Amino acid sequence: MSDSLAGRMGASSAASPYGQQQSSANLADILERVLDKGIVIAGDIKINLLDIELLTIKLRLLVASVDKAKEMGIDWWEHDPSLSSRARPHQAAGASQDASAVEAENARLRAEIAELRAAVGLPATSAAGAGQDALPGRVETETETETEEGGRSK
Amino acid sequence: MTEEAVPAAGQEMSYVYAVCRAGTPVETALAGQPGLEGAPLRTVRAGELAALVSSVPSVSYGTEGVKAQMEDLDRLEVLARTHHAVVEAAYEHAAVLPMRLVTVYLDDGRVGEMLGARAPEFSALLARLEGHVELGVKIYADPREAVAVTGGAPETDTAASPGRAYLQRRRSQQRNHRETYRAAGSVAAEVPARVDGIARAHVAHRPQQGDLAQAAGENILNDAYLVQDAQADAFRAALAGLADDVPGVRVEITGPWAPYSFATPPAAAEGDTR
């Protein structure tokens, strides 16, 4: 499946003795294991493993370490709009609003889908579309609330 | 510890790929074979253990160098594949504990100290993993493939108005989507029962997504099982045909892998099993 990857690997001086059996392994499977599994010991060189995990997230390779990073309280990507829809803040008003925040986000996403459909001029549905059809009237009001809150990003 | 250690430019450091028992065929079989940057592999012994090591330039493997390698997908790929290739080649000869990518020490002496300090833990893990391999099980849901197999939406009335045809099509897509995911869930739920008595341990990985998850469909299950060498074929056989008559659901078995997913101390690994 990854001929080009295998080819690139072949070019590496290090690969040749093992190259053949390697070409079949998928890079995602390998990265998942060598970056996220195995024995973790801090060597002499101070390499921040968390940095490495987050770098891989940044590279959008695999999101294998998100849960682990979260456990350690690292969640900057949630505030980065290019990495998470949750970067749009609507949680400022208090913790009790978590549930309604989810609903609001749901509505906002539906509204966005409706807008996109309208913009394309097609009632196109996404290949992965789940859930029910948006209710246009309701969505519009939700959209307005969202827009008002949209100002305080980050 | 020497966390502040800053190797001089041009200096070489010791990159550790894996730890094995001293005196196993790994030592002789891999000694001299090329590792990262083409440098020959060697082993560093301490007591009953040996670390599989090669020299790497401090320029590329110091803090800054590693960051640069990690940020360049091509270089990261070479690094990851070479690391993995060495681990895998070693694992063909004897049980090894794979290190996390880029475990680097100033010199072999420091590697020896690390081995000595961790000896009881490493010995226990090796004892647990000897004679075992890791097999990956991935399950994908692909509603589009389900449509292709079942011939799309045959109930769509071509004479209907465009609006109604659209709704029919959409409803049928939604139904297909739901059914495919439900079927994938059922297939996933059947895996543990099928491999019961064959698998020794189980770890759930996060489903793959993102640019590198190139396979068709969505990965809904991504697990690793620890299986005895001799049982690897039985494991595959147990899962054979699992999704053969389930359109849109695909089962992929990867490996055998060195037991990366089980090379954490048992206490931690059990937290992950279910």
Asked if residue A58 and residue A12 are part of one domain, the reply reads no
Asked if residue A144 and residue A101 are part of one domain, the reply reads yes
Least confident of B34-38, B75-79, B80-84, B152-156: B152-156
Q: Is A120 on the interface with B (CB under 8 A)?
A: no
User: Is residue A50 in some structural domain?
Assistant: yes
For residue A84, which residues of chain B lie inside 8 Å, CB to CB?
none
**Higher pLDDT residue, B236 or A97?**
B236
Which of these three, B65, B97, B130, is where a domain ends? B130
Asked if residue B235 and residue B216 are part of one domain, the reply reads yes
User: Is residue A17 in some structural domain?
Assistant: yes
Share of chain A above pLDDT 90, in %: 0
Kindly report the backbone phi and psi dihedral angles of residue B2, in degrees, each rounded to the nearest multiple of 5, phi listed first.
-110, 55
B100:A33 CB<8 A: no
Coil, strand or helix at B258: coil
Do the beta carbons of residue B274 and residue B204 sit within 8 Å?
Answer: yes
Q: Residue A34: its pLDDT value, please?
A: 87
What pTM, to 2 d.p., does this model score?
0.68
Q: Residue A23: its pLDDT value, please?
A: 46
Asked if residue B142 and residue B124 are part of one domain, the reply reads no
Whether A3 shows a pLDDT value over 80: the answer reads no
Of B91, B50, B83, B54, residue with least CA distance to B259: B91
CATH number of the domain where residue B200 is located = 3.30.70
pLDDT of B213-265, one tens digit each?
667 888 899 999 999 999 999 999 999 999 998 999 999 999 899 999 999 76
User: Is residue A119 in some structural domain?
Assistant: yes
> CA of A46: how far to CAs of B2, B6, B98, B263, in Å?
9, 9, 19, 22
Residues 4-43 of A with CB under 8 A from B: 5, 8-9, 12-19, 21-22, 25-43
Pick from A36, A43, A123: which is nearest to B104 by CB?
A43
Interface test with B, best of A16, A23, A26, A29 (most B CBs within 10 A): A29
The stretch B192-208 carries a mean pLDDT of: 91
Say if strands B49-57 and B199-205 run parallel, antiparallel, or are unpaired. unpaired
For residue A67, which residues of chain B lie inside 8 Å, CB to CB?
206
Q: Residue B179: its pLDDT value, please?
A: 92
User: Is residue A72 in some structural domain?
Assistant: yes
User: Is residue B1 in some structural domain?
Assistant: no
Whether A16 shows a pLDDT value over 80: the answer reads no
pLDDT of A116-133, one tens digit each?
888 777 664 544 444 444
A45:B83 CB<8 A: no
Which of these three, B108, B130, B152, is where a domain ends? B130
Q: Which domain holds residue A103?
A: 93-149
C-alpha A58/C-alpha A52 separation (Å) is 10
Q: Which domain holds residue B19?
A: 12-130
Q: How many CB atoms lie within 10 A of CB B169?
A: 16
What is the number of domains present in chain A? 3
User: Is residue B7 in some structural domain?
Assistant: no
Which of these three, B102, B130, B158, is where a domain ends? B130
Share of chain B above pLDDT 90, in %: 62
Whether B148 shows a pLDDT value over 60: the answer reads yes
Asked if residue B157 and residue B94 are part of one domain, the reply reads no
Asked if residue A97 and residue A73 are part of one domain, the reply reads no
Whether B50 shows a pLDDT value over 60: the answer reads yes
User: Is residue A33 in some structural domain?
Assistant: no
User: Is residue A34 in some structural domain?
Assistant: no
